[in-house]
Amino acid sequence: MEIYGETLSSRLFLGTAQYPSPAILQEAIAASGAALVTVSMRREGIHGSGAGFWNLLRDTGVRILPNTAGCHSAREAVTTAHMAREVFGTPWIKLEVIGHADTLQPDVFGLVEAAKILSDDGFKVFPYTTDDLVVGERLQAAGCEVLMPWGAPIGSGRGLANPEGLRAMRAHFPELPLVVDAGIGRPSDAAAAMELGLDAVLLNTAVAKAGDPVGMARAMALAVEAGHLGHRADPMERRDMAVPSTPVLGLAELT
């Protein structure tokens, strides 16, 4: 897939928080074949206590997508994004502006404001948003060339809370890359998102908190690939009634 003029080798993006150990994180990244991994700027840096973590990620060879996790205002997110660009040396930024403490739902007003400021400053913005079509249009107008609608609240593992909303986004933005971000709990959730025609899946907790993170990372990779191939294969329409695979016409009559 292509985003901001660059081709990515995988449709699975992986978060890097909450893993049992650095070694398991490295193994999970390798097993997932992820095209990029997200890193919270508030949690890590390349100096001090974060130096070891940064070196670990650099050794994987996977592209880093820093994010503004934990920011609750446009101003805070913009400041964090500038810090991330300086630390990680990339204009790519996953933009989060949280508006609700319990659900971690995006503050879409602050999100659009911050996206406009950052896009004008040369950032390539990956906005964590809702499945609202109007918000999507405003983000696109602000300069975003990708949208990242949530499947369900972050870390909930509930899967796709509103598949019809995601389906509507796909129809409304046929050429814009869409990445389901948050809420994926099982491989079947990831496959379902891809079968809707979305372009990629970003997940973290489902892998990091699994009993076997490495095995789950591989399962998610296969699910994303299967869902994407299934969508491209143009699956049959669902039917209310049974249709025999062997037609009645032409069958032998026994007397």
φ, ψ of residue 6 in degrees (nearest 5): -120, 140
pLDDT at 245: 78
**Residue 112: is its pLDDT beyond 70?**
yes
pLDDT at position 181 is 94
Residues paired with residue 129 on neighbouring β-strands, in sequence order: 149
Any idea of the CA torsion for 50, 104, 167, 6, to the nearest 10 degrees?
-20
Check whether 33 is labelled as a binding-site residue: no
pLDDT of residue 149: 97
Task: Give, in degrees to the nearest 5, the angle at Cα 169 between 137 and 240.
Answer: 160
pLDDT band at 250 (very low <50, low <70, confident <90, very high): low
Is 155 annotated as belonging to a binding site? yes
**What does the mean pLDDT of the chain come to?**
91
Residue 241's pLDDT is what? Answer: 85
pLDDT at 160: 95
Domain ranges of the chain: 2-233
Contact at 8 Å (CB) between 100 and 128?
no
47 pLDDT exceeds 60? no
What pLDDT, on a 0 to 100 scale, did the predictor assign at position 49?
47
Residue 81 Cα distances to 3, 58, 161, 212, angstroms: 19, 19, 29, 33
165 appears as a binding residue in the annotation = no
Residue found under tokens 């660009």:
85
Residues 201, 215, 60, CA angle at the centre, nearest 5°?
Answer: 70
Query: pLDDT tens, 25-46?
Result: 999 999 999 989 999 876 555 4
Its CATH class, for the domain covering 2-233, is: alpha beta
Tell me how far apart the alpha carbons of residues 203 and 52 are, in angstroms, rounded to a whole number: 23
Higher pLDDT, 236 or 49: 236
> pLDDT per residue over 139-177, tens digit each?
999 999 999 999 999 989 999 999 999 999 999 999 999
pTM of the model: 0.89
> What is the band of 48 on the pLDDT scale with cuts at 50, 70, 90?
very low
| Model pLDDT for residues 70-86, shown as the tens digit of each residue | 899 999 999 999 999 99
What are the catalytic residues? Answer: 94
The per-residue pLDDT for range 185-235, each reduced to its tens digit, is 999 999 999 999 999 999 999 999 999 999 999 999 999 999 999 999 998
Give the rounded distance of the alpha carbon of 173 from its chain centre: 16
Closest CA to 111 of 151, 140, 82: 140
23: three-class secondary structure by DSSP: helix
What is the mean pLDDT of the segment spanning 115-124? 97
Which 8-state DSSP code applies to residue 28?
H
Q: Looking at residue 178, what DSSP letter applies? A: B
Query: Cα–Cα distance between 160 and 169 in angstroms, integer?
Result: 13
Instruction: Band the pLDDT of 53: cuts 50, 70, 90.
Output: confident
